Structure 1
Amino acid sequence: MPGETPKKEQERVLIVKTEKMARLDAITMSPLVKSFVAGSFSGTCSTILFQPLDLVKTRLQTTITIPSDGSAGMLATVGKVVRNERLFGLWKGMTPSIFRCVPGVGLYFSSLHWLKSTYCEGHPGPLEAIMLGAVARTITGVTMIPITVIKTRYESDVYSYGSMREAVCSIYKKEGARGLTCGLVPTLLRDAPFSGLYLMFYTQTKKQVPQRYMEGNMAPPVHFTCGVLAGIMASTVTQPFDVVKTKMQLYPHKFTSFYQAVWYVNRKYGPQGYFKGLVPRMLRRTLMAAMAWTVYEQITKNFGLK
């Protein structure tokens, strides 16, 4: 400032720097930030590893016929993708998946941490777990819906986009802002119950495990096993909404409402149509969620949040 001596000016600059560092430390040490970082890291690992299962699930849901055996249909789809698009074709849609899952999982875990800390002191009961998981996933689902639409179209063989930017511009030009949010209702009806049920099954399963197995080297395998069991149950219950979501996001001009898509699937394929792609989705969601929670539990423990 004018009129200050060099010594006073240096002291003022030092004070300003100290205050900035203190604010930065307060932000980086925040439990919400730690939860976001832990969730983002776990989301990155699981997304890269299990992307092929998501692509196969999307391809199965766009086929006209329904394989009599889910696992056989999954293997046939894998073979077709590898023949036509080579091995790395199984990772098609990786870019939007990363853009969706990395911040999305981070936002989910940070929202969940805040909700648990605020409303149930970190130890939710069964009904509380369902509500907290559903609310946290709703926040994430609404925020990330444009990326979800792009990801679904990337993974299908219906659209061909060269980049994320091209996809956004193409959708907005042809369908307007509504095109970037199509399928929001079935997405929330799929993800919110899944997360609520998953969190309930996961927390309740962990409570049945003796405490001595929840410490040391035994903890990660126990967390993973609990996550797998929770994922299997939650995936099966919410599968019909995933099928409807995919139809609405791939064919927005054909399906302008949730009920229209529901009616079409039932009329075209029958009740079994609502479970197209169940095997790869169950494998992906179960393994991805189990891995994400296992990594998250270990990181938050190292961060001192547990």
Structure 2
Amino acid sequence: MSERSNNDSLKKSCDTMNNITPWQQMISSCTGAVLTSFFVTPLDVVKIRLQAQKSPMKRGQCFLYCNGLMDHVCWCRNGNGNNTKPVHWYKRGLPEPFTGTLDAFIKISRREGPTSLWSGLPPTLVMAVPATVVYFTCYEQCRNKLGYRDGLQEGQWWKPMAAGVVARTWAVTLISPLEMVRTKMQSEQLSYTAVWQSVRKMVRQEGIIRLWMGLGPTLLRDVPFSALYWFGYESFRSMLQRIHGKIRIGFWDNFFAGAASGAIAAIITLPFDVIKTHRQIELGNVMGSSGEKKTSSTFRLIQSLYRQQGVASLFTGIVPRVIKVAPACAIMISSYEYFKSVFREHNLKAQKALMIPSS
């Protein structure tokens, strides 16, 4: 009886904890995206600098920038490093080569200044903020529509998975044309007017579906990851709620739940990530060459990887992926939940103030 009454009280308190508006959810997710990008971006800046040191990138070559929150295809715009052309953040050279990740952090900070570690932040914020706002707000709305109550009721395990699938599909589909335009603009260094004319010409010749080129491989990884992530996060969160005996858990509880669920989802969906990375580079080369190159299908890419390198090729890079994804998920969800709790307290105080009769 005591356990049932405890669950009933948690359910009632859960109803009062959801009283935040969609705008407040959007602000919370926006703040979380900015904080996550700020903390995780230096990891990818150092990684790309280390990669460029081992195999220098040529002008026009595309590379993948991904900080655990968003993935971007970027172009090497500078030339061979002479003084007549600008040297961008991913090709800056130091007198002494980097011997490892920690050494790269120290040398870049000392020689170029600490701000150089955030050189890759702008391309992330351009797409990460709107994509994250759409994704998290849609997830919350879908979850609430399904009547999910933090896993406290039996048979609700599928609801966060369904909400995660819908939210990720909607967010990726909505942002995909913008990412395609951004990639096209960066690869050919076009002005906004030229980009608009290029997009109109492309739509007339190949149809509006061309704007969603590359959507398939993106959904192939992001949708399963989203389903597994939200299932894991809500499960860990419900477990911690039962341990503490209250619906409102702390910042570090959310941090742990986000990191654990993000790591598990990253490991399980690693083959999809490998496939998506190869496809992004292929599609990037296609857009960078004005559509002259032909790209193979995702299925043919899987066959090619399997024939050339075996099953092991689909599980490469597990350590770097977990190192980036786990903290990114942890920072994002814990900051998101923190700012949601701030808005909840604000709304509750406003409601109490309205209920006090004027003297």
Is the TM value for this pair above 0.5?
yes
The residue correspondences of 1:163-202 to structure 2 (distance < 5 A) are 172=199, 180-202=211-233
| 1:32 aligns to 2:65 (yes or no) | no
Q: Could you tell me whether the CA contact under 8 Å between 1:96 and 1:164 is conserved in 2? A: no
In 2: Cα distance, 1:32 partner to 1:290 partner: 22
| 1:257 aligns to 2:297 (yes or no) | yes
Give the corresponding residue for 2:41: 51
Structure 2: state its 5+ residue gaps. Answer: 1-18, 56-87, 94-107, 109-114, 284-292, 349-359
Matched letter for residue 35 of structure 1: Q
Q: Could you tell me whether the CA contact under 8 Å between 1:50 and 1:284 is conserved in 2? A: yes
In 2: Cα distance, 1:184 partner to 1:106 partner: 19
In 2: Cα distance, 1:208 partner to 1:105 partner: 26
By how many angstroms is 1:115 displaced?
0.7
In 1: Cα distance, 2:138 partner to 2:198 partner: 30
Give the corresponding residue for 1:239: 270
Matched pairs, number: 254
CA spacing shift, 1:46–1:31, aligned 2, 3 Å: same
CA spacing shift, 1:45–1:212, aligned 2, 3 Å: same
Give the corresponding residue for 2:260: 229
Structure (1/2) with the larger helix percentage = 1
Give the corresponding residue for 1:85: 92
By how many angstroms is 1:279 displaced?
2.2
The DSSP-based 3-state class of the residue aligned with 1:120 is coil
Matched letter for residue 26 of structure 2: F
Give the corresponding residue for 2:144: 117
* Deviation digits for residues 20-57 of structure 1 (CA, Å, limit 9, x no counterpart): xxxxxxxxx97111111111110111022213445648
CA spacing shift, 1:52–1:136, aligned 2, 3 Å: same
Of 232, 237, 256, the match for 1:206: 237
The DSSP-based 3-state class of the residue aligned with 2:250 is helix
Of 87, 94, 99, the match for 2:121: 94
Q: Could you tell me whether the CA contact under 8 Å between 1:232 and 1:286 is conserved in 2? A: yes
By how many angstroms is 1:204 displaced?
0.7
Give the corresponding residue for 1:284: 324
- Between 226-235 and 173-182, the greater mean CA deviation after superposition: 173-182
By how many angstroms is 1:161 displaced?
6.1
What TM-score, normalized to structure 1?
A: 0.69
Of 134, 141, 158, the match for 2:172: 141
Q: Could you tell me whether the CA contact under 8 Å between 1:130 and 1:193 is conserved in 2? A: no
Give the corresponding residue for 2:83: none
In 1: Cα distance, 2:190 partner to 2:321 partner: 25
By how many angstroms is 1:153 displaced?
9.2
By how many angstroms is 1:254 displaced?
4.5
Of 295, 306, 314, the match for 1:274: 314
| 1:293 aligns to 2:333 (yes or no) | yes
In 1: Cα distance, 2:332 partner to 2:310 partner: 34
**CA-based RMSD:** 3.8
In 1: Cα distance, 2:167 partner to 2:237 partner: 20
Identity %: 25
Q: Could you tell me whether the CA contact under 8 Å between 2:20 and 2:343 is conserved in 1? A: no
Matched letter for residue 29 of structure 2: G
In 1: Cα distance, 2:324 partner to 2:193 partner: 28
Structure 1: state its 5+ residue gaps. Answer: 1-28, 65-80
What TM-score, normalized to structure 2?
A: 0.59
- Between 128-137 and 270-279, the greater mean CA deviation after superposition: 270-279
Q: Could you tell me whether the CA contact under 8 Å between 2:150 and 2:238 is conserved in 1? A: no
CA spacing shift, 1:202–1:54, aligned 2, 3 Å: same
Q: Could you tell me whether the CA contact under 8 Å between 1:153 and 1:249 is conserved in 2? A: no
In 2: Cα distance, 1:97 partner to 1:229 partner: 24
CA spacing shift, 1:260–1:89, aligned 2, 3 Å: farther
By how many angstroms is 1:82 displaced?
8.3
By how many angstroms is 1:84 displaced?
3.8
CA spacing shift, 1:180–1:53, aligned 2, 3 Å: farther
Give the corresponding residue for 2:66: none
